[in-house]
Chains A and B, each alone.
Chain A
């Protein structure tokens, strides 16, 4: 069990650029989640996949944000036309659950800085 991994760990970009982050979940986990955490706050839910299906999206996820999990394994989160307010830590989590809610295990996060 290698845990949840995320790449890159840090990303600095200029306002208006597009960025893409990758998350590799724990291999047997069927659920994958994206959260965003700003300084001094708890994580906030963005979106969630069960296998390859995106089942839930937060109102925080504007139309500049898109997430995919094409083969039900890794996931990507893309932010188009980045804004300074997008600066945050983007966290990925995975869990295994057939019914109920399993424990969510988090990756180390990708810290995005928009200048």
Chain B
């Protein structure tokens, strides 16, 4: 199986700090998709972004930004000026055919 690794199991920051969540993936495919999901304490996975492997442009959405580096097989996620509501478990995923393979998740705790 082509793995997705999120080496940081838990990160704790103080509100307004910037934080980067790392994601490294394995792939033997030339075309693939990468995803980030947020799982707040309520439990429901919330879709954040999908990125096609052909599109290496970095993306910014409000306080969120994503850095896709195909050369290092990484797809890192940065939250700028973190807020308490950002506290959640964040999952990185890639597709294997039509299914998603998820990393183990990074628990982010933002303290006031």
Contact = CB atoms under 8 A, between A and B. Distances in A.
Interface string A30-55: 01010100001111110010000001
A104 interface: yes
A103 B46 CA distance: 11
A74 interface: no
B43 interface: yes
Contact of A45 (B46, B99, B105): B99
Given A42-B105, A101-B50, 7 more contacts: A35-B100, A56-B98, A89-B43, A101-B98, A103-B47, A105-B47, A106-B46
Interface in A72-115: 89, 91, 93, 100-101, 103-109
11 contacts: A33-B99, A35-B100, A42-B103, A42-B105, A43-B45, A43-B100, A45-B99, A48-B98, A56-B97, A106-B47, A108-B42
- List 6 A-B pairs, minimum CB-CB distance, nearest first: A42-B102, A45-B99, A106-B45, A108-B44, A103-B50, A101-B33
Interface residues of B, number: 24
B100 A104 contact: yes
Nearest to B92: A42
B47 A43 contact: no
B91 interface: yes
A47 to B, nearest CB: 9
B83 interface: no
A32 to B, nearest CB: 11
Nearest to B99: A45
B43 A107 contact: no
Interface string B33-53: 101010000111111001010
Contacts of B105: 40-42
